[in-house]
Every structure is written in structure tokens, then in C-alpha cells.
């Protein structure tokens, strides 16, 4: 069989495709969530940990950090300094108050974000203490880069003993926050412990986030744990509504295995956490507008070529 060169119309359009693909990579908007497992000043003083952590977080426009134990803010200050040295972006942070019932296990939710690509519109600490051990800390963001201009991120690091109850009550948080900001583009993310023995298939019947207009982007079959002894989808990303779902990059929700990506030993990976970060990409509206005329040209080219071949 003789090799046939691509049709002339397609060859003429190939130079137009290259900058479009390159532009897509540069304009990606990534949201990440990472349980840092007792991130404190001592951990922040480990240069190996900080080097790897800056490589991980610099990939993301917004990073949610969980299990941060830094009431004085020194560890996060060090992390921001490392990121601002490492990248050509300016990073800022937004931190919740210390949350929990055990004085020895008080944790904070921390958002780290690139000021060049996203801004903060508002923040809201959920107050119903009886509903959660670590109440969600909601933040409304705005980005000129994304198809969904304004969106709300709501983190949750569940208590392992109350997983089903706490995930179900995220619905109440959604109702409160979406009404407060008149915005239903809501994303829940974090270490839900939503897998293995903590949340079974039977338990889903008790959780309203499985009964209403919510999409679970990290599925049950995904393994978000570092240890080889477990395979559990503890860490999740959940979005509300079709409009937000349409603004998500197809198949972009995944686990980021930084050990494999950076060629690190298992011991180096475990220095940072026992969980891998999860992430998702938002579509870029400007890129979609640029791509539409080109897609039309490609379609016309294919039709013309098909017609010519039939002659």
C-alpha cells in the first residue's frame, strides 16, 4: 500500500493548528487539592519537601491545601516565598481559622493562588459546628481566563468517623453559600475519605450529593493514596450543575502522581504526604472563540476533499 500525503487543504491549515495547540497549553487553568499531612513549620524547614512542593503547586492556578497546622502562619509564609522565587508569577494565600475539636489536631484550609490569573471576590466560614469537625471555608474566585468567570470553591477534610454525615451536609453548605453570593457554580474538593470502608456503595443512598445535580469528577475506581497497601478514592472533586460542568476540560480531573512525574523514590514522596493531589482544568473562553473559526475551516476542508475524491 502506497503512502498518501495529506490533502492539500489540510496541509494549508496545519500551520494554523500549531499555535492553537501551543496556546491551549499556555492558557490552561488548573485547580488542585492536596492534603499535606501535618504541614507545619518543621515540615516547611525541610528543603527537599519544599523544593518538591513548589514544583507541584506551581502547576496550579489555585491550590487548596489541607491539614495545615500553622497558626502563626510561618510555614505558609515560607511556602509562598519559595513559590515566588521559583516562578514568574505572584502567589498569595487565603487561610481559614484553625478548625477541629482536638487541641492537638487543629487544622486550617489554605488556598494559594496566582494573582495574575485569578482574584478573590469573597470568603465565608461555615458556622454550624455540630455539622462538621472542620467546617468548610468557602471562597468565591473570579478569573478572566476561564469560561466560567465566577466560581466558588468549598473544601472539606472529613473526620474519618463521620464521613457519610459530613459529605451529606455539604448540600446544606451549598444552599447557604450559593444563596449568599447568588452563584451556583460551586466546586467541592478535598480529602473526603470517600472510599473503601469509610464510604460504601450503600452509604451513597444517604448522601444528597449523589441524588441531585452534582457530578463526581474523581470516580470510585481512582486511587489517591500513596501507599501500595491501599487503593482508595479518598480525595474528590465534585461540581454542581451543567453550566459549570461544561466549563470543565474533558477528562482533565485526575490524580497527579508527582513521584512518577518527578522520578522520586517512595520515601521522598512519603516525606510530603500519604495522599496524592487531585486536579481539574477549567476551559478558557478566549481560546474557544479562537478555535471556532478554525474548526469551521477544517470541516469545510474535509467536505471539499471528500467531494474532490468522489470525482
Identify the pLDDT of residue 26: 52
pLDDT of residue 296: 39
pLDDT for residue 27? 66
**Counting beta carbons within 10 angstroms of the beta carbon of residue 142, is it exposed (0 to 12), middle (13 to 18) or buried (19 or more)?**
middle
C-alpha to C-alpha distance for 217 and 282, rounded to whole angstroms: 13
Helices 8-26, 285-310: axis angle to 10 degrees equals 160
Q: Which three cell numbers stand for residue 301?
A: 476542508
pTM: 0.85
**Residue ranges of the chain whose pLDDT lies below 50:** 1-5, 8-14, 16-25, 288-304, 306-310
Q: Which of 31, 248, 26, 282 is nearest to 146 (CA)?
A: 282
28-283, what's its fold? Deoxyribonuclease I; Chain A (3.60.10)
What's the pLDDT at 238? 98
Boundaries of every domain in the chain: 1-27+285-311, 28-283
Amino acid at each position: 500500500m502506497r503512502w498518501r500525503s495529506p490533502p492539500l487543504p489540510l496541509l494549508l491549515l496545519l500551520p494554523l493548528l500549531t499555535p492553537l495547540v501551543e496556546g491551549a497549553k499556555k492558557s490552561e487553568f488548573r485547580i488542585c487539592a492536596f492534603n499535606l499531612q501535618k504541614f507545619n513549620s518543621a515540615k516547611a524547614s525541610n528543603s527537599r519537601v519544599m523544593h518538591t512542593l513548589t514544583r507541584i503547586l506551581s502547576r496550579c492556578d489555585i491550590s487548596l491545601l489541607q491539614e495545615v497546622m500553622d497558626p502563626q502562619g510561618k510555614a505558609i509564609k515560607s511556602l509562598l516565598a519559595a513559590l515566588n522565587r521559583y516562578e514568574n508569577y505572584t502567589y498569595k494565600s487565603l487561610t481559614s481559622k484553625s478548625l477541629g475539636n482536638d487541641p492537638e489536631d487543629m487544622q486550617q484550609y489554605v488556598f494559594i493562588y496566582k494573582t495574575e490569573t485569578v482574584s478573590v471576590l469573597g470568603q465565608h466560614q461555615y458556622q454550624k459546628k455540630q455539622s462538621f469537625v472542620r467546617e468548610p471555608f468557602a471562597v468565591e474566585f473570579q478569573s478572566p481566563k476561564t469560561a466560567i468567570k465566577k466560581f466558588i470553591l468549598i473544601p472539606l477534610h472529613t473526620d474519618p468517623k463521620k464521613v457519610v454525615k459530613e459529605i451529606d451536609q455539604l448540600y446544606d453548605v451549598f444552599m447557604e453559600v450559593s444563596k449568599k453570593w447568588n452563584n451556583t457554580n460551586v466546586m467541592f474538593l478535598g480529602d473526603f475519605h470517600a472510599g473503601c470502608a469509610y464510604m460504601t456503595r450503600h452509604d451513597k443512598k444517604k448522601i444528597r450529593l449523589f441524588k441531585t445535580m452534582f457530578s463526581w469528577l474523581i470516580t470510585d475506581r481512582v486511587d489517591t493514596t500513596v501507599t501500595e497497601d491501599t487503593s482508595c478514592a479518598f480525595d474528590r472533586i465534585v461540581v454542581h450543575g451543567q453550566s459549570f460542568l461544561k466549563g470543565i476540560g474533558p477528562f482533565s480531573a485526575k490524580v497527579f502522581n508527582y513521584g512518577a512525574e518527578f522520578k522520586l523514590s517512595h520515601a521522598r514522596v512519603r516525606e510530603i504526604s500519604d495522599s496524592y493531589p487531585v486536579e481539574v482544568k477549567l476551559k478558557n473562553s478566549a481560546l474557544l472563540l479562537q478555535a471556532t473559526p478554525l474548526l469551521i475551516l477544517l470541516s469545510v476542508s474535509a467536505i471539499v476533499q471528500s467531494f474532490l475524491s468522489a470525482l
